[in-house]
Amino acid sequence: MEAAKQLQQDHRPGMKRWKKALIITSIIVVVLIASVITVAVVYVNRSLPNVEGEANIPGLEDPVEVIRDDTGVPHIKAESLHDLFLAQGYVQAQDRMFQMELARRQASGTLSEVVGEATVEQDKYFRTLGLRRAAEKSLSIYSDEAVEVLEAYAEGVNTYIEQTEAENRWPPEFLLMGIKPEPWTPVDSLTIGKYMAFDLGGHWERQAFNYYLLNTFTEEKAYELFPSYPDKAPSIINETEVVDIASSFKGAVMPDPFNGSNNWVVSGNKTKSGKPLLADDPHLGLASPSIWYQMELEAPDYQVSGVIFAGIPGIILGHNDSIAWGVTNVGPDVQQLYLEKRNPENPTQFMYEGEWVDAQVHDEPIAVKDSEPIDYQVTETRHGPIVSEFSVESDSDMLMSLRWTALDSTTELEAVLEINQAENWEEFETGLEKFLAPAQNFVYADIDGNIGYKANGKIPIYENGDDALLPLRGWEEEDEWKGFIPFDELPQVFNPEKGYIATANNQVAGDSYPYHLSNNWAQPYRYQRIAEMLEQKDGLTSEDMKNMQLDTLNLQAREFLPFLLEQLDQEKLDEKGREVVSQLKAWNFEDKAELAQPLVFHRWLYNLEEEIYGEQIPEEVMEFFHGSGQTTDELLRSYQGGQDSIWVEEAGGISSVIHESFTQTVEDLNEELGGEPDSWKWGDWHQVQFRHPLSSISYLEPFYNGKEPLPVDGSRVTVRAVGYNKETGKVTHGAPWRFVVDADDFSKAEHIVAPGQSGHFRSEWYDNQVDDWVEGNYHTTSVGEQDGNRLMLLP
């Protein structure tokens, strides 16, 4: 015992010293961590843009005032157009430089330079498309005045880059990725514009899918899934070596098929103010920061308010003091796949009219972070780039090229600048003549009470509209486009008797229209509901327009749910299944987040498609089946009309398909959500979160995503249009900008831009509009004199 005590006493001083050292070390570690955090917070906060005070901006001719209002919208007032656009470039870069950098890299195919091998295939695809090559061609046909605007804008962006470098105030995203932006150029702005044309492009994916169908199934079975039944079988099938669609386009970047929009304009005969009302809500990706950036621009003889894509000067959608305008996507057949016969003896020659013709070969070396550069070449035929397998390194001598109007020289920015200054329909239409790609449905209102519409863009002429359903023969002159629809013959309406014009990516011209526009249109429910609401009421106000944009009545369910329930053998359902049926029968067809019925209905239709197509069409090919919802609707309508379908019958017949998909839906939801069906909610599954590109890095997610996923009303088929992942329910598409304006007072308009104006996660304007977007609130933006944070840009 004594020995043990002695040993304990001998160790006590050592233990005390060890504990003391441990405490000191812990304190040092805590202090170091706190210091690192403090330094990080100080740096991050210091990288926020200056929005008050003064800033010296080389290149300005006179002082420019920038006032950011309480929602972060910058109002720029300059004494000349040069200063206005220089300031616009500077201000956009303050709030969105990282977004601009990623956008130009994605569109140019240079992401791998800063990301690494993960984006090599994506870069190959965009190098193949050649958006930047098309932008360079386009710049050469711009007017001197437009080039001056682009150069002034680029000068403003570059001033921000130079000042940020000199002051070491880079936004944290640049530090995290270890990059700094190269100087901005006019081609960068035009390349981003070309990317937006890509996002709203055309239908090459559906042509590829139709080609797969005809080479895999009988003609009768294949034609059932075509968007329209062709008058004659295309001549290319069985005449050539069949191209494997799934492998040929593996890695292709395809725009979300839900990209679309709503817009409408109402004449003064139907409004309370006696002047037109205009509403627009384009449907694009939902992310942080928003795809849209809201601004007001003012200079002598120039005042315009609305939104633009970061990286581009001007205002693409909005109003000035005389007119207002909005757009939806026309969705015409402006993309055409061509089968190309390659010379087995010379891989850069392709057959045309019986002769081998040299293709153009572009050297497109790809720099890759932490790896060796990749030697890459793009082969371009008379129709466009070879897009199958992205290069000519293939064992096959039958490849596919893409003819696309956006790869031609086009002048959209020229159009935007003219539209911004238009004062009447004639001047507006003159500007539209230069807006070539993407083709858009423009609606218009002016202070004099006129309303108008034009389906605008460079739209090819097909001798037979069925030709646009499939790839064409690249070696036959007779399969070439027959020119383009003359501008004066594009669909147009001015001051219609019914008192309104609306579009929602629906078919815009009937059988009497002499030209083919498209074989692919959106499901009609959004347009039908808009027209229904406009017909129901006169004395309309801005508040009515906002309520319409937020409408969630599901006309697809109203049309098909009675038929689906009729086909169910309820005797075979278990108790939970019968309870769900009772709920559906009581549904008011509103796609509200707090209701169970929309969850059941939409999941049911998803499983219905799986029952019909899942066993016969591989998953990788289904990615090309854009418009599958509309095709499925038509199959259901055929049964309602007493006809049947090969696809449905082979899947077991209509009653079996409906029953099996319903029971699978109830089983899935019971497993995922449990409890009683009346506790299920659409919003438990259907939720939105505006995710930042860097939020995929787990430790950055809390900073960049901010708000947790929120339940949201609406669906793919409601006027409040919300696109979501069919398997997870995550909302990824919708209307990041909603806009309503009354021509009775063009000094203000109603907007919402989600998640917010700023791209800096520490800014008060980063995600301040998320809750309002979900709840359906708007903010009023006035033009002219403003209160807010005032920044003077000085020469």
- Tens of pLDDT, residues 244-301: 777 778 778 888 777 779 999 999 999 999 999 999 999 999 999 999 999 999 999 9
Establish how many alpha carbons lie within 13 A of residue 495's alpha carbon, considering only the half-sphere containing its beta carbon. Answer: 8
| Phi and psi torsions of 675, nearest 5° | 65, -165
**Residue 519 tokens, joined:** 């074989």
The answer to whether the CB of 793 falls within 8 A of the CB of 87 is: yes
Residue 4 in this model has a pLDDT that exceeds 70? no
pLDDT for 203: 85
Residue 369 in this model has a pLDDT that exceeds 60? yes
Break the chain into its structural domains and give their ranges: 555-589+596-680
Q: Is 340 exposed, middle or buried (0-12, 13-18, 19+ CB in 10 A)?
A: buried
pLDDT for 253: 85
Q: Which has the closest alpha carbon to 377: 396, 360, 362, 393?
A: 362
pLDDT for 258: 74
Average pLDDT in the 605-631 region? Answer: 94
The answer to whether the CB of 581 falls within 8 A of the CB of 574 is: no
Buried b (16+ CB within 10 A) or exposed e, 610-635: bbbbeeebeeebebbbbbbbebbbbb
DSSP string for residues in 110-122: -THHHH-GGGHHH
pLDDT for 391: 65
How many other C-beta atoms can be found within 10 angstroms of the C-beta atom of residue 525?
A: 24
Confidence of residue 233 (pLDDT cuts 50, 70, 90): very low
pLDDT for 468: 94
Confidence of residue 37 (pLDDT cuts 50, 70, 90): very low
pLDDT for 202: 72
Residue 35 in this model has a pLDDT that exceeds 50? no
How far apart, in whole angstroms, are the C-alpha atoms of residue 162 and residue 96?
15
How far apart, in whole angstroms, are the C-alpha atoms of residue 577 and residue 570?
8
For residue 502, give Cα distances in angstroms to 326, 433, 723, 744: 11, 21, 21, 20
pLDDT for 67: 98
Q: Tell me: the pLDDT tens digits for 669-706?
A: 999 998 899 999 999 999 999 999 998 887 788 889 87
Average pLDDT in the 307-316 region? Answer: 98
Quote the percentage of the chain above a pLDDT of 90. 84
pLDDT for 40: 54
Average pLDDT in the 158-174 region? Answer: 96
**How many Å separate Cα 44 from the centre of its chain?**
30
pLDDT for 235: 45
The answer to whether the CB of 423 falls within 8 A of the CB of 455 is: no
